[in-house]
Amino acid sequence: MTTPTFTPLFLNGQRVPSSSNATFDVVNPFSKEIVGRSAAASAEDCRMAVESAAVAFKTWEITSLKERQDVVARVADLLESEKYQTMLLERGRAETAAPDALTLGMASGAPAFLRTNVVHAGVLGKEETYPSDRIPGARVSEQRRAMGVILAISPWNSPLYLSLRAIVAPILCGNTVILKSSEYTPACQAIVAEAFHDAGLPPGVLNYITMAREDAPKLIPELIAHPAVKKINFTGSERVGRLLAAEAGKHLKPCVLELGGKSPALVLDDADVSAAASAIVMGAFLHGGQVCMSTCRVIAQRGIYPALLQRISELTKALKAGNPVTDPTVNVSVLFTEESAKNVVAILQEAKDAGAELVVGDLARQGSVVQPHVVTGVKRDMGIWTRETFGPELIVNVFDTVEEGLEMANDSDYSLSSSLWTRDEELALRIRAGYVNVNGSTIHAEMKNGLGGLGGSSGYGRFTIDDFTDKRLVVYHPEGAKSYLWKE
């Protein structure tokens, strides 16, 4: 029996309980055991988070870029330490039930990600100047400047990395941040607040809040509405993203939204079957398919289709979902809730009833555990084609002509990522996605630019310097300059 741990709020540099002393339970998705209790922020706590961030912004904005870079560099060093690696494993086992290799693998890129952001933040120290195109002798100075308080809402499925991504560019730019965690992984995500505190980040620059699920519909709109909050970033479901965008729209506040995915893998006859199959299966079933970039729709040309389907099926049958703590042969994560598992099975059953064929998988479910499934004969009006499943299922469909394959690949309201398997690299320009990975997995994003949807169900914006700064211009008028609009 695990002793539940307590996760506090982190407000103005202090670890504190909720002002109302309210808490909520955190449950292991496999065992259903209560593994933690977290402070449930009140409206007063949310106001304090915004107010402390607003006060801290006054000084953090004018702190030297080097000082901000040094803090982030120290966080990168801390995350490589034995203390933080142990913390990450212990909390990951408790809150996500993911295999240790996956927990460490998903977090392994975090230090490099931070250091890459430190380097790219160097553009903030540069001022672009040029002569005015309207006023003779005038000089224009163009700079990127911090926006203010950023509300960052980060999910559970990669708790460390995605929390860091939500806050690092804003902080380097001179903004202050309120990080709101998922109710499923508050202790995992609190690692970020602890690391920045240990790295010497001034109080109020990063405030960490957790809240009960039932309180979020009231508290999140209050946070968005606060005048000090200048921008919102959110990673999560399309449904919640639409609600947040609508709420932000009431106050004309911009958002960065990374939402759903239904990534295609377009495989032409000249592709390497073995390489494509390996990358597709990894991309489909990593973390139980609970990744926004997961490979969901394999679209294979008729010549390669039989061999590709056979190899995908062989690799998938070798996978096993379950509890890695009690069964070391498990290599596929459980789903994050039993409701999610029920939804995945329901979508698969719906597809089967409509004529699709289950090549691998039998629709069985044990609590939150669903084994990997491979499905063929999927029609493009089926829910399994049009909706994000966020589970261990993979569609393999066939096409004849290249034009038909491209049309199928682009037949989606999602646009985060894709892959193209062929020697004809020019075809990549005809796939509409934020990323097209030629002869590589859909699960890939460059550290400098990150992911970015092209609107619709995948959202819009990126987690970059440009997205968390305002472009501001100062025009230096020469003495005695006359208006070009008014004749004296």
Q: What amino acid positions are annotated as catalytic residues?
A: 258, 292
- DSSP codes joined into one string, 143-186: EEEE-SEEEEE--SSSHHHHHHHHHHHHHHTT-EEEEEPPTT-H
- DSSP codes joined into one string, 408-472: HHT-SS--SEEEEESS-GGGGGGS-SSEEEETS-S----TTT-----SGGGEE--SSTGGGEEEE
Identity (one letter) of the amino acid at 218? K
Nearest partner of 308 among 338, 266, 357, judged by Cα: 266
- Please enumerate in sequence order all residues whose Cβ is within 8 A of that of 64, keeping only pairs 6 or more positions apart, or say none: none
Identity (one letter) of the amino acid at 37? R
Q: Do the bridges between strand 14-16 and strand 9-11 make them parallel or antiparallel, or are there none, so unpaired?
A: antiparallel
Question: For tokens 């609107």, what's the residue?
Answer: 455
Helix or strand (DSSP H, E) at 353:
helix 338-353
Question: For tokens 């909050």, what's the residue?
Answer: 229
**CB-count burial class (<10 Å; 0-12, 13-18, 19+) for 339:** exposed
Angle, to 10 degrees, between the axis of helix 100-108 and the axis of helix 159-172? Answer: 20
Identify whether the C-beta of residue 372 lies closer than 8 Å to the C-beta of residue 361: yes
**CB-count burial class (<10 Å; 0-12, 13-18, 19+) for 202:** middle
Q: How many other C-beta atoms are found inside a 10 Å radius of the C-beta of residue 471?
A: 10
